[in-house]
Structure 1
Amino acid sequence: MLGNVQQTNLDRVFDTLDVTRDGAISKADFQIMAQRMRALRPAMDAKLATEIDETFDAWWEAIRRAADADGNGEITREEFVAAIAQGLENDPEYVDKMVKVSVVTFNAADEEGDGRLTPLQVERIYRAYGVNEQLSSETFSRIDLNGDGFVSVDEFVRAARDVYSSNDPEAPGVVMFGPLN
């Protein structure tokens, strides 16, 4: 059973995934998001671009298989939340499957390839996902666990895990998609 924090976050994840704002998520939404991730770095190498496309496609397929109950290629909010809740309850590796996309998102934004993101790079991720980039500064300060002024891939992935798995309003990543209230 989902807690209040998880429910809030899953609603926000759904809203973020529904790029076309038509009330359902589909393969087209994931293709648009992959395209936006590729655009984060104009001189992206082909290997990373392919990895982004493949990861977003795999993410869509994992969600589609679990959530598209009527087989119409579109997933409603209710289908999405029910599938995530079932996955969290029945599969100990489910969160890992959902956060794989955070690694390629991190890599797309890490222009220097130094394994860390600046506040501006996190803001660009927010913009690419269609999340209010003004929220990125609060998120950045919460997920920069060691306070070094950068977000490492480990900090970023941990925060993404919090989105799905934490019911603690103080967990660093629960605000990745916006404040809880």
Structure 2
Amino acid sequence: MGALLDQKYAKLFFLLDANGDGVIAEDDFALMAGRVTAAFGEERTAKGRTYAAEMTNYWRALRETADADGDGRIGKDEFRLAVSRVSDKFDTLIGPLYLAGFRLADRDDDGLVGRDGFVTVLVAIGVPAAEAEATFDRLTEDGEPLTEDRLMTAAAHYYRDEDPAHTASHLLFGAL
């Protein structure tokens, strides 16, 4: 694993450690899911339940891959190794979470996410608003809404790609 992936995984760890205690555990995923669904007022809707379920699936995949001692906590080093393994199964383990987040932000179910919806998700997971806005601008062209395909491509690159030319995907969660 190269330096760029290390930086991206460190950023992701920081965001997933929603309670800031230095480890990732199931309660972090529940806390983050609650923040995101509450930001849209979707805690009890089908979209909100789907998002929360996908957060749980992501947590379980990480735990099964990284939590060798079974204590229910994943440290930074364990996380880096787990994410690199889990990212090999992006389409089945990680991608569904991104799709659920996209659909939560797609307020009118037209298959497009505008700036406000995108920024709302990223801010709810802990990305500063200015960085979330800059990310939206990098992912879209001329203020156009974000498409599902563009988000999924950027997310897949975030987990797997080390090509410095793919700046939009490397900065998916703001500055590294």
After TM superposition, the score normalised by the length of structure 1 is: 0.88
- Give every structure 1 segment of 4 or more consecutive aligned residues whose post-TM-superposition deviation is greater than 4 Å: none
Structure 2 gap ranges (5+): none
Q: State whether structure 2 residue 166 is matched by structure 1 residue 168.
A: no
Q: State whether structure 2 residue 156 is matched by structure 1 residue 158.
A: no
1:40–1:108 CA contact under 8 A, matched in 2: no
User: 1:20-46, CA deviations, whole angstroms, 9 ceiling, x for partnerless residues?
Assistant: 000000000000111122113225773
Q: How does 1:13-52 map to 2 (within 5 A)?
A: 13-42=12-41, 46-52=45-51
Q: Distance in 1 between matches of 2:144 and 2:110?
A: 14
Give the C-alpha shift of residue 178 in structure 1: 2.3
Q: State whether structure 2 residue 2 is matched by structure 1 residue 3.
A: yes
Q: Distance in 2 between matches of 1:73 and 1:43?
A: 28
Structure 1 counterpart SS, 2:39: coil
2:43–2:49 CA contact under 8 A, matched in 1: no
Distance 1:20 1:43, change over 3 A: closer
- Aligned twin of 2:118: 122
- Aligned twin of 1:98: 94
Structure 2 counterpart SS, 1:69: coil
Give the C-alpha shift of residue 13 in structure 1: 0.4
Q: How does 1:58-77 map to 2 (within 5 A)?
A: 58-77=57-76
Give the C-alpha shift of residue 179 in structure 1: 2.7
Q: Distance in 2 between matches of 1:44 and 1:152?
A: 24
- Aligned twin of 2:144: 149
Structure 1 counterpart SS, 2:5: helix
Give the C-alpha shift of residue 158 in structure 1: 1.1
After TM superposition, the score normalised by the length of structure 2 is: 0.90
Aligned residues: 174
Task: Read off the aligned partner of 1:137 and give its amino acid letter.
Answer: E
Structure 1 gap ranges (5+): none
Task: Read off the aligned partner of 2:37 and give its amino acid letter.
Answer: R
Q: CA RMSD in A?
A: 1.8
Give the C-alpha shift of residue 169 in structure 1: 2.0
User: Percent same amino acid among aligned pairs?
Assistant: 28
